[in-house]
């Protein structure tokens, strides 16, 4: 067709043998070359023609509508030449790519076949322990330093592993007491188990612990040169591999669901180990001051800290609760054992999800007879400092805390003692307003978590906040003699966490306690045994409760108390 003929065809709309290109509105992806679905580029039109049967190709002509133009006109010879060239190049490129893909596929298949062959081959490599070597002594990783240069056997879990060439493999073994780098050479890395080893598999390794050569690093400066090993329990690979279940950046909900595996990680296991040492330090502290440990029941029929956070359950047809605090039972122990303490679980049906509230927490509580309010404050301060000093004095625990919380230091200065009334003044002087109406705080207001944290973080030191008003505190707290509006009560506030201890003197007069029940609308009947304490030789006494998870959150710089217990319980979470 000549150019004139094409122009004529366009004008007569005899378009069956035209391929349309609209540079403004066409599309190379969705176009078909028809007038209603034009291509965008002449190159696409050339490709279209090249796809037609050879006898049809000659008759097809390309027409183009340039951007801003109204009409189609025949493609210019130079544009056609350019399009043909681009089309040829694209064809070449596609051919090359297809060839490359075929080669890759072939190589992949060969590699897989080779791997399969190697795996099959590896099944024939069977390790046997060399009976001419000295007998290996079973050790824990914590004992590795004292066991250098002797033949030892260690069992644990594969925390990390790395293959170096075909004759060398490193395993970082974890057994809960530490980490040990293990080196496997030659045949030891040719077994089926070596080639398919997965993280978190449990293994037993035998060999000699040698100091690492200068310039090389390994945990504790040594490594196990393995001469025999075996897999005890293989962990899955692929989709189920532990590294595919979560990582440190996973959403907290994922980490909570997988907490049974998360606790194998370095940070989580360190916090749990520090927790174990902290609980021991509390026991050692109480032992040193002569308090007896008791274990009161967790199933109870009385409330301690208000009805709104009670978990109730059916106890053989009667209503019972999970204990909010062991305090009332501790009080009954005073005439029997003198000062007592417990490390018991407490339960709170907390409605809100905050980073410092759990539904179940470990409550360290103590109760002491014949003391004054000042004795109580001194006792709390001494206990916190003494427990920190005890934990700090253990080199291994101190190293863990320093890693978790590099800024942590034992406290040397006296704790600040501040009355509730002065805290209200402090908040108002610092322009902190009540959330509900943006007004100044007033005497009698509960100081909510956020302003309390703000004040504690600003002051940056432990604060024994005392003398809270009667209406915002528990029924058992006595008013002070000089100001009956306030109670002999205390909260210990720590920077970054807020309240970690709540304590008070206890009403020890029978009639005053009965009046308190009346005021609070509580039926005194189920408390007959508590009232009897005020009947059968009452005495002034006081005590406190400390949340172990909050203490740990402060010490280990954990964002939330949820990371400071084994399996946190809070609203909607009761698994694992
Ligand atoms: O201030 P609380 O409610 O005091 C009592 O239960 C007293 N009967 C204790 C006593 O005098 N024997 O709680 C004491 C401490 C708090 O300071 C806090 O550390 C912790 O228990 N605590 C919680 N920890 C985690 N989750 C919760 N929901 C907690 N509620 C209180």
Q: Is the Cβ–Cβ distance between 33 and 15 less than 8 Å? A: no
Tell me what the mean pLDDT of segment 497-516 comes to: 96
DSSP code for 143:
G
Instruction: Look at residue 400 in the predicted model and tell me its pLDDT.
Output: 96
Tell me what the mean pLDDT of segment 174-202 comes to: 96
Pocket perturbation via mutation, ligand 1, pick of 361, 474, 542, 544 by most ligand atoms within 8 A of CB:
361
Q: Is a pLDDT exceeding 70 seen at residue 9? A: no
Q: Is a pLDDT exceeding 80 seen at residue 177? A: yes
Query: What share of the chain in percent tops pLDDT 70?
Result: 98
Tell me what the mean pLDDT of segment 1-7 comes to: 63
Produce one character per residue of 301-334: b if its CB has 16 or more CB atoms within 10 Å, e if not: ebbbbeeebbeeeeeeeeebbbbbbbbbbbbbbb
Give the Cα separation of 463 and 469 in Å (integer). 18
Pocket perturbation via mutation, ligand 1, pick of 291, 325, 573 by most ligand atoms within 8 A of CB:
325
pLDDT in tens, 55-95: 888 888 999 999 989 889 999 999 999 999 999 999 999 99
Q: Find the length of the chain.
A: 576
Give the chain's mean pLDDT.
94
Q: Is a pLDDT exceeding 90 seen at residue 535? A: yes
Q: Is the Cβ–Cβ distance between 493 and 463 less than 8 Å? A: yes
Instruction: Look at residue 13 in the predicted model and tell me its pLDDT.
Output: 47
Instruction: Look at residue 308 in the predicted model and tell me its pLDDT.
Output: 86
Query: What share of the chain in percent tops pLDDT 90?
Result: 90
The atom number, within ligand 1, closest to the CA of 550 reads 19
pTM of structure: 0.83
Tell me what the mean pLDDT of segment 302-321 comes to: 93
Q: Is a pLDDT exceeding 80 seen at residue 3? A: no
pLDDT in tens, 373-428: 999 999 999 999 999 999 999 999 999 999 999 999 999 999 999 999 999 999 99
Closest protein CA for atom 28 of ligand 1: 357
Q: Is a pLDDT exceeding 90 seen at residue 8? A: no
Q: Of the candidates 369, 304, 365, 288, which has an alpha carbon nearest to the alpha carbon of residue 334?
A: 369
Cα-to-centroid distance, 253 and ligand 1 (Å): 26
Tell me what the mean pLDDT of segment 485-504 comes to: 96
Q: Of the candidates 268, 183, 288, which has an alpha carbon nearest to the alpha carbon of residue 564?
A: 268
Instruction: Look at residue 1 in the predicted model and tell me its pLDDT.
Output: 57
Q: Is a pLDDT exceeding 90 seen at residue 448? A: yes
Whether omega for the bond prior to residue 576 falls within 30 degrees of 0, making it cis, is yes
Q: Is the Cβ–Cβ distance between 106 and 143 less than 8 Å? A: no
Closest protein CA for atom 22 of ligand 1: 547
Q: Is a pLDDT exceeding 70 seen at residue 270? A: yes
| Confidence band, pLDDT 50/70/90 cuts, at residue 306 | confident
Residues in contact with ligand 1 (CB, 6 Å cut-off): 304-305, 325, 327, 348, 350, 357-358, 361, 363, 365, 499-503, 543-547, 549-550, 561
Output the six-digit token pair for 164. 């170096």
pLDDT in tens, 201-230: 999 999 999 999 888 889 899 999 999 999
Instruction: Look at residue 25 in the predicted model and tell me its pLDDT.
Output: 92
| Confidence band, pLDDT 50/70/90 cuts, at residue 525 | very high
Give the Cα separation of 377 and 543 in Å (integer). 10
Pocket perturbation via mutation, ligand 1, pick of 363, 384, 420 by most ligand atoms within 8 A of CB:
363
Closest protein CA for atom 23 of ligand 1: 547
Output the six-digit token pair for 84. 């043909």
The atom number, within ligand 1, closest to the CA of 503 reads 11
Dihedral sign of CA atoms 267, 268, 269, 270 in order = positive
Closest protein CA for atom 9 of ligand 1: 545
Instruction: Look at residue 17 in the predicted model and tell me its pLDDT.
Output: 85
Give the Cα separation of 276 and 394 in Å (integer). 13
| Confidence band, pLDDT 50/70/90 cuts, at residue 352 | confident
Give the Cα separation of 48 and 45 in Å (integer). 5
Cα-to-centroid distance, 362 and ligand 1 (Å): 9
Tell me what the mean pLDDT of segment 350-374 comes to: 95
Output the six-digit token pair for 261. 């595996």
Instruction: Look at residue 56 in the predicted model and tell me its pLDDT.
Output: 86
């Amino acid at each position: 067709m000549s150019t004139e003929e094409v122009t004529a065809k366009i004008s007569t709309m005899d378009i069956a043998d035209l391929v349309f290109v609209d540079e403004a509105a066409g599309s190379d992806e969705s176009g078909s070359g028809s007038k209603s679905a034009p291509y965008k580029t002449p190159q696409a039109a050339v490709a279209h023609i090249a796809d037609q049967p050879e006898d049809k190709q000659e008759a097809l002509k390309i027409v183009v509508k340039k951007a801003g133009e109204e009409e189609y006109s025949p493609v210019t010879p130079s544009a056609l030449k350019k399009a043909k060239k681009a089309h040829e190049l694209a064809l070449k490129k596609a051919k090359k790519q297809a060839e490359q893909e075929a080669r890759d596929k072939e190589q992949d298949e060969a590699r897989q076949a080779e791997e399969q062959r190697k795996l099959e081959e590896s099944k024939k490599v069977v390790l046997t322990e060399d009976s001419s070597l000295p007998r290996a002594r079973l050790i824990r990783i914590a004992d590795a330093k004292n066991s250098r240069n002797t033949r030892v056997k260690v069992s644990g879990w594969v925390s990390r592993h790395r293959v170096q060439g075909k004759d060398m493999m490193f395993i970082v073994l974890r057994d809960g007491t530490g980490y040990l780098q293990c080196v496997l050479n030659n045949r030891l890395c040719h077994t089926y188990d070596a080639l398919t080893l997965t993280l978190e598999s449990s293994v037993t390794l035998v060999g000699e612990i040698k100091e690492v050569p200068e310039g090389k690093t390994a945990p504790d400066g040594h490594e196990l040169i393995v001469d025999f090993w075996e897999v005890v329990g293989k962990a899955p690979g692929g989709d189920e591999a532990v590294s595919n279940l979560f990582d440190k950046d996973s959403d907290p909900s994922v980490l909570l669901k997988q907490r049974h595996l998360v606790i194998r990680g370095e940070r989580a296991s360190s916090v749990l180990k520090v927790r174990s040492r902290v609980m021991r330090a509390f026991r050692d502290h109480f032992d040193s001051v002569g308090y007896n440990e008791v274990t009161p029941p967790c199933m109870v029929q009385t409330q301690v800290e208000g009805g709104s956070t009670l978990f109730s359950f059916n106890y053989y047809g009667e209503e019972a609760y999970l204990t909010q605090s062991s305090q009332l039972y501790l009080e009954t122990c005073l005439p029997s054992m003198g000062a007592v303490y417990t490390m018991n679980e407490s339960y709170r049906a907390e409605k809100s999800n905050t980073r410092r509230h759990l539904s179940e927490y470990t409550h360290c509580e103590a109760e002491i007879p014949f003391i004054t309010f000042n004795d109580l404050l001194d006792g709390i301060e001494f206990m916190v400092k003494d427990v920190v000093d005890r934990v700090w004095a253990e080199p291994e625990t101190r190293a863990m805390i320093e890693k978790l919380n590099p800024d942590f230091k034992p406290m040397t200065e006296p704790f600040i003692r501040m009355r509730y009334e002065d805290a209200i003044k402090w908040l108002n002087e610092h322009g902190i307003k009540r959330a509900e109406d943006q007004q100044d705080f007033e005497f009698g207001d509960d100081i909510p978590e956020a302003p309390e944290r703000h004040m504690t973080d600003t002051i940056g030191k432990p604060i024994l906040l005392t003398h809270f008003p009667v209406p915002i505190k528990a029924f058992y707290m006595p008013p002070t003699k000089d100001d009956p509006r306030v109670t002999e009560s205390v909260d210990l506030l720590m920077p970054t966490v807020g309240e970690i201890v709540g304590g008070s003197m206890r009403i020890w007069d029978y009639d005053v306690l009965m009046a308190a029940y009346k005021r609070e609308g509580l039926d005194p009947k189920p408390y007959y045994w508590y009232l009897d304490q005020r009947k059968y030789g009452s005495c002034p006494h006081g005590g406190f409760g400390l949340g172990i998870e909050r203490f740990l959150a402060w010490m280990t710089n954990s964002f939330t108390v949820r990371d400071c217990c084994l399996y946190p319980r809070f609203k909607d979470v009761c698994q694992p």
